[in-house]
Structure 1
Amino acid sequence: MVLVLASASPARLATLRSAGVEPVVIVSGVDEDQVDGLPPAELALQLAELKCDAVAAREDVPDAALVLGCDSVLELDGEAFGKPHDPDEAVRRWQGMRGRSGVLHTGHALRDTTSGRSAAATASTTVHFAHLDDDEIAAYVATGEPLQVAGAFTVDGLGGAFVTGIEGDHHNVVGVSLPLVRELVAELGHSWTSLWQAG
């Protein structure tokens, strides 16, 4: 059994690799803006399912694969925030986030291409942000990093200095909850440790 990661995220790939899994990466090409109007946790899950379904239907997916789709959104004041569309939006986002806490939701959808069975769930982690001044926000946005990630921050990159605490799974904030993926793999009748040999 091989794990297929339906995501272009280098952070998700690095997290899985550090956990002993070498996935095959097949980018879904799903337009993340096509789904709107859902509560943040449901939005993350639906986008993850769309990505998983899009890749699982492709002919270049290896036989006997588990296809994993993930999508993350930051919830702040009940609103879902994905990747900022431009630097000005990223600056406004950080001005609203600084000194506050949000919830990072990551939807996970897993499909067994052999059995056709699927399992899906959302992991949620509370993130506490430092109180950045305007110069720090401008400098961070100028690096380009906030434009590439949900919530306009990373915890495993330059943004790590601006996260003062996390309640929940650290890996979830990076983009993939390893404990949750392990549970989904087991739900589909497989062993997480069997994926260590994949690749």
Structure 2
Amino acid sequence: MSTNTNHHQRLILASSSPRRQELIQTLGLPYIIRVSDADETVEEKITPAQLVELLSLRKASMVREMLEAEEKHGIIIGSDTVVVYHNEVLGKPADEQDAFRMLQALQGNTHQVYSGIACIDAATGKQAVSHSVTDVKMKPMTDSQILRYIATGEPKDKAGSYAIQGIGATIVHAIEGDYFTVVGLPLSLLSDLLLQFDIEVL
């Protein structure tokens, strides 16, 4: 059995999301967290796929700029997730009313979740960017069920106003695609991208 010499190559997760931090641990590679306060506004009209790739790259690039010279080693990982329904991008809700509007639209219907990943070699600046998309079918819900879900506080900072890995799991009927795309860090895609930097997860 050959030992992988690249396992000392650390990952730098450019995210404050507890969900992404939990997921990055599952890869079994050394990692650190560096939070980017990247501006997530995008003026130009672009597709959801382009949007999540652009924002993932922006987050990772900002962290690379923040790193001190002696810290510039490892692969920086930026990720961004959006919910799309009828060509409308649903980000994090502005308030409870906004969350209600989103959940009312999504209930009983199928929507798409896009997650982008950008990997940047901190030392060289080499980049690899991609995204994945998953279909999510929501259960039909009454207004009172939606309000009870909002009252849990879970929808507050989630794209599309729900979390599939929380109590939001009870309002999802089915998914077609990668579950981790919906959570916000598609691990299968990430492992493919890391291969471009000679990092083998398995």
Is TM (by shorter chain) over 0.5?
A: yes
Q: Is the CA contact (8 Å cut-off) linking 2:64 and 2:72 kept in structure 1?
A: no
Instruction: Give aligned pairs, total.
Output: 193
In structure 2, the partner of 1:65 is 74
Please provide the CA RMSD for this pair: 1.5
Q: Does 1:136 align with 2:148?
A: no
Distance 1:13 1:22 in 2: 12
Deviation at 1:44, TM superposition (A): 1.0
- The residue identity in structure 1 corresponding to 2:24 is L
In structure 1, the partner of 2:107 is 98
Q: Does 1:53 align with 2:53?
A: no
Q: Is the CA contact (8 Å cut-off) linking 1:52 and 1:110 kept in structure 2?
A: yes
In structure 2, the partner of 1:8 is 16
Distance 1:35 1:24 in 2: 31
Distance 1:164 1:22 in 2: 36
Stretches of structure 2 that go unaligned for 5 or more consecutive residues are 1-8
- The residue identity in structure 1 corresponding to 2:144 is D
In structure 2, the partner of 1:149 is 158
Distance 1:22 1:157 in 2: 26
Segment of structure 1 superposing worse, 125-134 or 25-34: 25-34
- The residue identity in structure 2 corresponding to 1:178 is L
Deviation at 1:145, TM superposition (A): 1.2
In structure 1, the partner of 2:125 is 116
Q: Is the CA contact (8 Å cut-off) linking 1:56 and 1:113 kept in structure 2?
A: yes
Q: Is the CA contact (8 Å cut-off) linking 2:27 and 2:201 kept in structure 1?
A: no
Deviation at 1:56, TM superposition (A): 1.1
Segment of structure 1 superposing worse, 139-148 or 87-96: 139-148
Distance 2:147 2:165 in 1: 19
**Change in 2 beyond 3 A, CA 1:65/1:35:** farther
Name the larger-Rg structure: 2
Q: Report Cα offsets for 1:140-162 as digits up to 9, x if no partner.
A: 11222112111111111010101
Deviation at 1:100, TM superposition (A): 0.3
TM-score (norm 2): 0.90
- The residue identity in structure 2 corresponding to 1:10 is P
The equivalences for 1:158-173 within 5 A come to 158-173=167-182
Segment of structure 1 superposing worse, 114-123 or 93-102: 114-123
**Change in 2 beyond 3 A, CA 1:175/1:88:** same
Q: Is the CA contact (8 Å cut-off) linking 1:36 and 1:43 kept in structure 2?
A: no
Stretches of structure 1 that go unaligned for 5 or more consecutive residues are 194-199
- State the SS of the aligned residue for 2:105: helix
Distance 1:173 1:142 in 2: 22
Deviation at 1:76, TM superposition (A): 0.5
In structure 2, the partner of 1:44 is 52
Q: Report Cα offsets for 1:125-182 as digits up to 9, x if no partner.
A: 1111111111110011122211211111111101010111111111111110111001
- State the SS of the aligned residue for 2:117: strand
Q: Is the CA contact (8 Å cut-off) linking 1:83 and 1:149 kept in structure 2?
A: yes
